[in-house]
Amino acid sequence: MEHLECSRQPHTHTQGRLPTDFFHLMLAAAAVAPSSSLLVASSSPSTFARAGVARAGGIVASAAAAPSASDAALLADSSRSLAIARMRIFAERDGVSIAPSPGKGHGVFAARHIPAEVSVGDYAGDILSQRDVEVRYEAAPRAHALWCEADEAWLRRRGALGIGCSGDYIFRVGDDTFVDSEEYATANWTRFLNHGADANLRVKSLLKGMDGRPRVWFQALRDIEPGEELLWDYGESYWRASDVVL
């Protein structure tokens, strides 16, 4: 999720500690089949900045010296499943659920009444600079003159975990501050929030929250009833000419 003005801008949501009941977590993970429809949720935000024009669209980094294709795939699926299980647990805690959304893959739905003006969640992810966005997303992998060892490590990690480099989950907080929610390990359930022209959420952001980090969060525009999908307007700059906006 990201367009040049609206890239998902979350502040790292203080999600608290993970449940110490590992069996509970594994049961939740088992309930999340690593299906592509879930893993490729079509979320892209309103202060999203889609990473560039010549982005590395959907390229999955290749992991060098991977033990085997089957082992790598198993590792990626397990990692994603556990990360999504974590998101589901915290979504439930926050009064929402991740579920299929017609025509959009998966989305987020209210599990309880949400009063107007209430903050429903913070957008979480990796904090990037303008330089990071340009080098990693606005050119093909390794093509930019400023590509360095840190970028190579980032690409290899993405490849090992089966995570794409689409740039679709970037939220621009400021000229040199972005939040990237593409990586499951650092994201949370707000990653699955879909676009809606008739949005019931607004997005707000600060360059520095109470913890000194960038903060992006979502607030209810009106009362939201159980079962309603939570939607926000990604903004015009997010969309490509080829996109079909639902």
One-character DSSP codes across 180-237? E--STTT--GGGGPEE-TT-SEEEEEESS-TTSS-EEEEEESS-B-TTPBPEE---GG
Answer yes or no: is 22 within a domain. Answer: no
Answer yes or no: is 48 within a domain. Answer: yes
Answer yes or no: is 161 within a domain. Answer: yes
> What domain range includes position 65?
43-238
Answer yes or no: is 172 within a domain. Answer: yes
Angstrom distance (rounded) from CA 52 to CA 238: 10
Per-residue pLDDT at 79:
78
Do residues 94 and 111 make contact, with C-beta atoms less than 8 angstroms apart? no
Please tell me what DSSP assigns to residue 59: P
Angstrom distance (rounded) from CA 89 to CA 67: 32
Q: List the CATH number of the domain containing 96.
A: 2.170.270.10
Per-residue pLDDT at 238:
74
Q: Order the strands of the 170-174 sheet from edge to edge.
A: 126-128, 177-180, 170-174
For the entire predicted model, the pTM comes to 0.69
Give kind and range of the element (H or E) at residue 22: helix 22-30
Per-residue pLDDT at 92:
96
C-alpha 192 chain-centroid distance? 7
pLDDT tens by residue, the chain, 246 residues = 433 333 333 333 333 333 334 334 444 444 444 333 333 333 334 445 544 323 333 323 333 344 466 666 666 678 788 888 999 999 999 999 999 998 888 999 999 999 999 999 999 999 999 999 999 999 888 999 999 999 999 999 998 888 889 999 999 999 999 999 999 889 999 999 999 989 999 999 999 999 999 999 999 999 999 999 999 998 876 755 555 554
The number of folded domains in the chain is 1
Interhelix angle 130-137/149-160, rounded to 10 degrees, is 60
Instruction: For residue 64, count other CB atoms closer than 10 A to its CB.
Output: 10
Answer yes or no: is 176 within a domain. Answer: yes
Answer yes or no: is 58 within a domain. Answer: yes
Answer yes or no: is 24 within a domain. Answer: no
Per-residue pLDDT at 77:
78
Answer yes or no: is 70 within a domain. Answer: yes
Angstrom distance (rounded) from CA 105 to CA 114: 23
